Structure 1
Amino acid sequence: MVIFGILFFIFGFNYLKGKNLFNVSDAYYTEFDYNGLTTASPVTIKGNNVGKINKITYIVETGKTRVSFTVDDELKFSKNSKMRLYPLGLLDGNGLAIIPADDDQIAEDGDFLQSEVEPGLIKNLSENFSGLSEGLDDTLKSADSLLVSINGLVEDDSKEGLKHAIKELNLTLTSFKNLSGSFNSLIAKNQDSLTQVISNFNSISKDLAVLSNDLKDVEISKTISSLDTTLLQVNALLADMEHGEGTLGKLLKDDKLYHNLEVASQQLSELLQDVKLNPKRYVNVSVFGGKNKEGYVKPEDERQ
């Protein structure tokens, strides 16, 4: 049990450090003049993630950064391959890419590989470091100005100083306290009314619930189906009328009916005129049995 506990401790300690004792991987080394990597940076080949960085060490004697990394033991590549430092993206940092060489000298565990840096990356790193230093300098200057202002505020004994600000804050808190008291008093005075309002709201909600249940029982689908059938019939009737079919269609579309009505109206107008001008011709009432033999004379003005 003691041996098992020691082995479990060693495995757990290495697992927390990111090492899996059961995963067999080959370790390799390379060096760079600048450090642009982290232990979270990926190791890729042709865009595929095939390993990870184990350790990054600065060598004081040479002034270079040594990178130790592992790859999958199934991956075979030449020891003449180069390790390229390249940017992943604007916010993703950098990565380490294996640029394989075209030969049969397979790299083995512990080999040291030559390195290269993607063109323009060193310039970007130096610009970033210089920009960082300038930004840090501006930040320190701003912090110094802020501290000076705070000191002046604390040491100011005038009405515009910190004492005046604390006094105004006390007045504001007092106003909030008075407002809270007024609000509580208003609630206490109108408690019965508020209770009635809440009761009415509960009653309305119950009525709405009953109404919704009634609406569920209504066969809306059948009603809509009947309405749809009625609308189809009305559309058919209007289509027949448009094509001049049926009595209403003939009344709307037949010009002969309009012409006959116009002629009949004209004849009726003339008949009424004749009755008005010669009533004896239609109502013959004579005491002596006389008879009007004169013919119809059309007046000059037809409205007479």
Structure 2
Amino acid sequence: MSKELKTGIVAIIVIVLFVWGYNFLKGENIFQPNSRQFRVEYSNIAGLSKSSLVTINGLKVGKVDKILFNPDSTKRGDLIVLFSMESDFQFSKNSVVKIYSPSPLGGSNLAIVPSYIGENAISGDVLKGEIESSLFTSIGERLDPIQTKLEHVIVSADSLFKNVNTILDAKTILSVKKSVKTIEYTIADLRKTIQSVNGIMDATSLDLKETVRNTKYLTQNLANVTDTLVSADIGKILRDAELTLATVNSLLEGIDQGKGSLGKFINDDAMYTNLTNVSKELEQLLREVKLNPKRFVHFSLFGKKATPYN
């Protein structure tokens, strides 16, 4: 045998071993070709990739060959997974192929849930696909209804604040400022009364201590009530809150339209004018009482007449 022939045989062996090793690393065995190939349709493959494992009851029976987009225009965006089976295990066309994740940090694999009812599946058949729920998807499914309810509550609250801003226009704010200014004068006259009340409070410190003790008992009872509220049905509370916000929204709309006593009070300028006049007259009366108390309380041993009020 010549040296050139030996070199050619060695080169062919090296090439064959290289091709076999490359395909082996890809999960393919060229000496044991895949006998059957199936396809499954999914809307989301949840991290599945080419060369992912295909198992039946935990045993590896094949691998994923290709992942393609569905060419059907009515299923645009859906995916088609092609996988091959190295095992001759028989199952029916009613079997389900699930995408599952063996660990939260690992990739996804395919698991065939075999069914033995009906006609056996053959190469080229389309099997039914499902996605197995993981821990995170289960939590998300439970939180979705709560999120929807919270969105409704937030929308209702936004409508409420918009109605409040509509009512509190520049004219109403100016009226409120004037009313507050008038009340400031009245509060100044009440400060002396508050100082007298402080003296009385010092004289009744024992009663205050008893009141503090009773307040402590009341706080404990409120803590028990808080514990009860924690264990209450949050869903029902959110529904009641949504209903309450809707009711308040309707009430504010009625006020904005001038319905009811409060609506007439806010929208009727005559009501504000009357209240302002009453406040001013009350202020003048208090000043007159302070400056000329004898005009209101008169006492004389000799029958002297009181000074008339102009």
Give yes or no for TM over 0.5. no
Task: State the TM bucket, normalised to the shorter chain.
Answer: 0.3 to 0.5
TM-score, length basis structure 2: 0.34
Q: Which has the higher contact order (CA 8 A, sep 6+)?
A: 2
TM-score, length basis structure 1: 0.35
Instruction: Choose 1 or 2 for highest CA Rg.
Output: 1
